[in-house]
Amino acid sequence: MTQTTPHVEIRHAVDPVTARQLDTQGLRDAFHMPDLFAEGEIRLVYTHYDRMIAGGAVPAGKALVLDHVKQTGTASILDRREMGIVNVGDAGTVSAAGESWEMGRGDVLYLPMGAGPVSFDGAGRFYILSAPAHMAHPARLVTLAEAKKVNMGSAATANERTINQFIHPDVMPSCQLVVGYTQFHGGSVWNTMPAHVHDRRMEVYLYFDMAEDARVFHFMGEPNETRHLVMKNEEAVVSPPWSIHCGAGTGSYTFIWAMAGDNVDYRDVEMVSMEELR
């Protein structure tokens, strides 16, 4: 397989005191991740939050191979990492370690440390997430039907939603990567409200399934120093451990959440009361 040279951007960690001083463009430069999906390319963002990598691969009829990424300091990206892949496009194929998986829209694939180069083919739009790993767990394709579903919220508070857990302790083992996505019921637009923080791990959101002219207002920052970013379809945002992460959309949407850090317990959060929010 011929290596596809990925386009890689860096996001350095920003502390909460510095974040308070940033204007809109400064916030977007530090936390916003646009243009992850480009036909015929692999695009990655290497963050200094728990060394999480987020990116996209769009084969567009020509196989793409992800192997060496200079920023990881290893010969192949998965030499000391694990990876989660979510297909947000049409049917496609992912191959690694001598195996291939057919992925439909919404399917999630887990690849372990040591799986070697990863090949993407077909009509898929593959969202890539990767974090450092300390051991190899079995590779596994998890379909939406196999995901654990948690229903939360209500229509009365505009946040009735189903949380689909894929790479998650209740579904399968991983080292530190936790991945799933949240789908809203008709008329609901608020995500992750009431808000919370989790200081033991960072998070990345990717918003998708949005109309071209739809937007999500993503809220971030310390609970008493909130800021917002305006997000379009297939745009991602990094959430530091000290930050809230919630939002409201102008229409229906789905968002993929991915976490890395000390604790994989999804319930390990510090809730923020409405009285604390500013």
pTM, two decimal places:
0.96
* 278 domain residue, yes or no: no
Structural domain harbouring 146: 7-271
Does 196 appear as a known binding residue? yes
* 205 domain residue, yes or no: yes
The residue with tokens 């992800």 is 66
Does 203 appear as a known binding residue? yes
The contacts of residue 26 (CB under 8 Å, 6+ apart) are none
* 187 domain residue, yes or no: yes
The per-residue pLDDT string of the chain (278 residues; one tens digit each, 9 = 90 and over) reads 688 999 999 999 999 999 999 999 999 999 999 999 999 999 999 999 999 999 999 999 899 999 999 999 999 999 999 999 999 999 999 999 999 999 999 999 999 999 999 999 999 999 999 999 999 999 999 999 999 999 999 999 999 999 999 999 999 999 999 999 999 998 999 998 889 999 899 999 999 999 999 999 999 999 999 999 999 999 999 999 999 999 999 988 999 999 999 988 877 889 999 999 99
* 233 domain residue, yes or no: yes
Count of structural domains within the chain: 1
* 2 domain residue, yes or no: no
Which residue, 29, 22, 11, is CA-closest to 222? 22
CATH number at residue 65: 2.60.120.10
Bridge pairing between strands 7-11 and 126-132: unpaired
Does 270 appear as a known binding residue? no
- Alpha carbon distance 50, 203 (integer Å): 9
* 277 domain residue, yes or no: no
- Alpha carbon distance 138, 146 (integer Å): 16
- Alpha carbon distance 178, 10 (integer Å): 21
* 113 domain residue, yes or no: yes
The contacts of residue 17 (CB under 8 Å, 6+ apart) are none
Does 198 appear as a known binding residue? yes
